[in-house]
Amino acid sequence: MTTNSSDTGQPSAEALARMTENLTKVEGLRDRLTAVLANRNTHQASLDGPNQELFAKAAKAYMQEAMTNPAKLIEHQLEYWTKSVTHFVEAQQALARGTLSAPQDRTGTDRRFTNPMWEKHPYFNFLKQQYMRNSEALAQAVEDVEDMEPHEKKRLKYFSRQIIDMMSPTNFLPTNPDALQRAVETEGESLIKGLENLISDLEANHGELIVRLADEDAFELGGNIATTPGKVVFRNRMFELIQYSPTTEEVHGTPLVVFPPWINKFYILDLKEQNSLVKWVVDQGYTLFMVSWVNPDASYRDVGMDDYVLDGYLEAFAQVKKITGEKRLNAVGYCIAGTTLSLALSLLKQRGDDTVKSATFFTALTDFSDQGEFQPFLTDDFIEGIEAETKDKGILPSIVMARTFSFLRSNDLVYGPAVKSYMMGETPPAFDLLYWNGDGANLPAKMAMQYLRGLCQRNELAEGGYDLCGHHLVLDEVDVPLCAIACETDHIAPWKDSYRGVQKMGSKDKTFIMTQSGHIAGIVNPPSKGKYGHYTNKDLTLNHEDWLAGAKFTDGSWWPRWEKWLRKRSGAMIPARIPGEGGQEILCDAPGTYVAVKARG
């Protein structure tokens, strides 16, 4: 790349032309940025962080500790000062030797600092080492706070971790060697592209900054994702019902209906042919129905959990029975849809309705006594902020949930992608899982608050019962044969909490499987990959630690084990059912229309 005239040392005409072009772009981008910020949709300020009371309590507790045990505080301060001063002296000595080298680095490795300059260049190494020491000191200070309630201490740890992650030198252009090198190599073009990416993300979310994780232009619903053939055979205000086309000459008589979470889109189970649970189930000889939930707008503000049960679950059951002519069916609920499936089963029990022959729960919580990593967001200040937001907008916008989930893994889902997109000017990758992750759905105002207050905060279903649809619903009345799959590293529905809820269910026929990996990869784990194994133990009377200690580990996917369990409860083989046969109306091809509705802002 020619940047200077060979005879004068001045920038070449070509370089000046590129610079002028870049400056012209800046003018246009500035106008776009001003416009999007001027018309930015606002949200409740309380959703951006905890109220100041948390930090005030922490400061008070820290000062009390300093007064009652000053030696401990002084010891930690001296340790931090000693490390910092020693680091400074070693850096000075390295420079005094006249070589551009860094002193010995004792801070360990971190995948944010993979560029060799973090280790070899004295400036960047000094920044990295000092950041690591500052992080350690802050984490230790939080750990030393003792006079706080456990749930407040947990929140303090979470939000202090967010501050530590945010302040990483990799997140700022002057202290990120990768971004600086790219800017020099591209004569600033990477920064222009980064600014374009930033403004595009702001425009896509009405001024809210949500980092785009995937190249949205690389995917088409029904084109290269969500491609399993099927037909939409029913639609109401809550969902579309997809019946998938058979791939076998015969199928099991008992149909299977899957309820995905309405926080996200159903096609996580049908991303592509190689890892599609939908296709795999159809290929095993089952008549499979999928519920595709509506993506609600403000007109759904008064839709509650009862609407999801009555107009969602029970209506889907009725339609599947009508279409197939069967009196009974098997049901699957994933995440919040599994929680709600347990409510529907208790309701059916009280009504004397045996429609559901068996139930499968994918990473579903029914006992929220341990709120896990979501505990920082389930305190009154945040819930009150969400309540104000839903009253204002009629929905809990998908971007609120997206931010919450993302900051549970902030380096992977916020700062890392932001650096690549905004400072390096890179186009987000064409990654189907990340595309799905960014294709969220809104929640109706009433439903969101019922779920957060009654189920998450007060844990009513597991502790006495949950009032819904004119009934008092309890876990003990979930007495159909059930299979629950939980994931070992799930940070959304921890496996031990899922296990505890299953223990409280009334069924005498229970199977519990704990698969390796997390909330998504643990479920979307096709046998062909041979990637993650799973644990089983028939004794569900044990606490979760003893259950795992006595569990048998099996290599490979849990899908075949579950299918074997399902097969025993799915009846004799019959001729395959074709969507639309018997005069059933076909509304459109899969994946339908509801799944295509985007939730922006």
- Mean predicted confidence (pLDDT) in 71-100: 57
Q: Please check the confidence at residue 377 and state whether its pLDDT lies above 90.
A: no
Decide if 190 contacts 197 (C-beta within 8 A).
no
Contacts of 296 (CB under 8 A, 6+ apart): 303, 395, 441, 442, 443, 444
Is 483 among the residues known to form the active site?
A: no
**pLDDT value at position 76?**
53
Q: Please check the confidence at residue 318 and state whether its pLDDT lies above 90.
A: yes
**pLDDT value at position 65?**
53
Q: Higher pLDDT residue, 173 or 556?
A: 556
**pLDDT value at position 1?**
43
- Mean predicted confidence (pLDDT) in 351-375: 90
Of the candidate ranges 209-218, 398-407, 479-488, the one whose mean pLDDT is the lowest: 398-407
Q: Higher pLDDT residue, 153 or 251?
A: 251
pTM of the model: 0.85
Q: Higher pLDDT residue, 297 or 601?
A: 297
pLDDT band of 6, cuts 50, 70, 90: very low
- pLDDT, tens digit, 9 for 90 and up, residues 527-545: 998 889 999 999 999 999 9
Q: Which residue has the tokens 């998908």?
A: 398
Residue 363's φ and ψ, nearest 5 degrees, are 40, 55
Decide if 596 contacts 267 (C-beta within 8 A).
no
- Mean predicted confidence (pLDDT) in 340-349: 98
- Mean predicted confidence (pLDDT) in 183-211: 84
Which of 41-45, 370-374, 502-506 has the highest average model confidence (pLDDT)?
502-506
- Mean predicted confidence (pLDDT) in 253-257: 98
According to CATH, where is 3.40.50.1820 located in the chain? 230-381+384-407+426-569+577-596
State the SS3 of 225-247. Answer: ECCCCEEEEEECCCEEEEEECCC
Q: CA torsion sign, 533 to 537 to 540 to 544?
A: negative
- pLDDT, tens digit, 9 for 90 and up, residues 145-167: 777 777 778 888 888 888 889 88
**pLDDT value at position 32?**
79
**pLDDT value at position 68?**
54
pLDDT band of 3, cuts 50, 70, 90: very low
Counting residues of the chain whose pLDDT is more than 70, the rounded percentage is 85
CA dihedral 345, 348, 353, 356 (to 10 degrees): -20
Environment class of 424 (CB within 10 Å of its CB; exposed 0-12, middle 13-18, buried 19+): buried
Rounded-to-integer distance, Cα 545 and Cα 499, Å: 11
Q: How crowded is the C-beta side of 451, counted as CA atoms within 13 Å?
A: 27
- Mean predicted confidence (pLDDT) in 478-506: 95
- Mean predicted confidence (pLDDT) in 4-10: 49
- pLDDT, tens digit, 9 for 90 and up, residues 450-475: 999 999 999 999 999 999 999 999 99
pLDDT band of 269, cuts 50, 70, 90: very high
Decide if 46 contacts 213 (C-beta within 8 A).
no
**pLDDT value at position 22?**
64
- What's the CATH class of domain 230-381+384-407+426-569+577-596? alpha beta
Rounded-to-integer distance, Cα 278 and Cα 244, Å: 8
**pLDDT value at position 283?**
98
pLDDT band of 83, cuts 50, 70, 90: low
Strand runs (DSSP E) across 301-415, as ranges?
Answer: 329-334, 356-362, 395-396
pLDDT band of 106, cuts 50, 70, 90: confident
**pLDDT value at position 583?**
85
335, 456, 469, 487: the active-site residue: 335
Q: Please check the confidence at residue 52 and state whether its pLDDT lies above 60.
A: no
**pLDDT value at position 250?**
98
pLDDT band of 30, cuts 50, 70, 90: confident
Counting residues of the chain whose pLDDT is more than 90, the rounded percentage is 57
Q: Helix or strand or coil: residue 292?
A: strand
Q: Higher pLDDT residue, 570 or 91?
A: 570
CA 305 distance to own-chain centroid: 22
Environment class of 373 (CB within 10 Å of its CB; exposed 0-12, middle 13-18, buried 19+): middle
Q: Please check the confidence at residue 306 and state whether its pLDDT lies above 80.
A: yes
DSSP 490-515: -SSS-HHHHHHHHHHS--SSEEEEEE
Cis amide leading into 174 (omega within 30):
no
- pLDDT, tens digit, 9 for 90 and up, residues 582-600: 888 999 999 999 999 987 5
**pLDDT value at position 506?**
97
